[in-house]
């Protein structure tokens, strides 16, 4: 039996599909002509220099279209809330979801908060000591614990109002400060921009589950 579910950088599943996409200029891009597809893709995710080559784009475009077709057409068939804690990780300024859309993962959790694991507190966490270990990870994270934003956004059907127990949110402070002024990426690249901090957060959190 899993001990905890960690989700990162995505809307709650009952808020899937183009209808709930924060990009209301182009909520569906899978079937767009090539030039419009790439313009919308770069507006959402940044102009990745690794995708600048025409030959690379020609190779990867069908794969990306297939991915977006699945994401844009997905319909969640929501069952009962999960009987395990859920931690939702996001980045401030990430335009691929609204904060309340990440918060609505709480509707899919029905575990008492006593076994929900340890959060990072309700305000901006700060580093301490020599800046390493737990302090370094905490310096980049804001924690909102046990569903304090419960009730925002759309419900998830049965159990939506009771879902915040055992739920926590952990927010990174946007694009990593280690990236230079010429950085092309967006705040959506949490895993790539904060690998060390994510590992340190998990190293702090996982022992609380046993």
Judged against a pLDDT cut of 80, whether residue 122 lies above it is answered with: no
pLDDT in tens, 21-58: 999 999 999 999 999 999 999 999 999 999 999 999 99
Percent of the chain predicted with pLDDT > 90: 61
pLDDT of 19: 93
Work out the mean pLDDT of the chain and round it to a whole number.
80
pLDDT band at 167 (very low <50, low <70, confident <90, very high): very high
What separation in angstroms does the CA of 109 have from each of 62, 98, 121, 138, 189?
Answer: 36, 19, 20, 24, 25
Q: Residue 189 pLDDT > 50, yes or no? A: yes
Q: What is the pLDDT of residue 178?
A: 82
Q: How confident is the model at residue 180 (pLDDT cuts 50, 70, 90)?
A: confident
Report how far residue 88's alpha carbon sits from residue 105's, in angstroms, rounded to the nearest whole number.
7
Least confident range of 47-56, 104-113, 144-153:
144-153
Q: How far is 153 from 148, CA to CA, in rounded Å?
A: 13
Give tens-digit pLDDT for 52-85: 999 999 999 999 999 999 999 999 998 899 999 9
Q: How far apart are CA 182 and CA 180, in angstroms?
A: 5
- Please state the pTM of the whole predicted model: 0.76
Higher pLDDT, 70 or 134: 70
Who wins on pLDDT, 139 or 191?
191
Do 208 and 113 touch, CB atoms closer than 8 A? no
């Amino acid at each position: 039996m899993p001990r905890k579910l960690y989700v990162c950088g995505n809307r709650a599943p009952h808020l899937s599909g183009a209808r709930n996409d924060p990009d209301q200029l182009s909520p569906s891009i899978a079937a767009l002509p090539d030039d419009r597809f790439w313009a919308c893709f770069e507006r959402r995710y940044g102009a990745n220099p690794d995708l600048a080559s025409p030959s690379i784009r020609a190779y990867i475009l069908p794969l990306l279209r297939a991915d977006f077709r699945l994401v844009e057409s997905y319909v969640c068939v929501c069952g009962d809330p999960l009987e395990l804690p859920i931690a939702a990780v996001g980045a401030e300024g990430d335009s691929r979801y609204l904060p309340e859309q990440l918060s609505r993962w709480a509707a899919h959790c029905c575990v008492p908060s006593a076994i929900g694991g340890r959060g990072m507190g309700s305000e901006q966490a700060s580093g301490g000591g020599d800046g390493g270990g737990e302090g370094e990870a905490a310096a980049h994270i804001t924690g909102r614990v046990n569903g304090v934003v419960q009730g925002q956004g759309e419900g998830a059907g049965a159990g939506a109002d009771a879902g915040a127990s055992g739920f926590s949110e952990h927010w990174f402070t946007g694009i990593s400060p280690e990236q230079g002024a010429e950085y092309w990426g967006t705040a959506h690249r949490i895993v790539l921009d904060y690998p060390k901090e994510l590992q340190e957060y998990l190293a702090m959190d996982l022992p609380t589950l046993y």
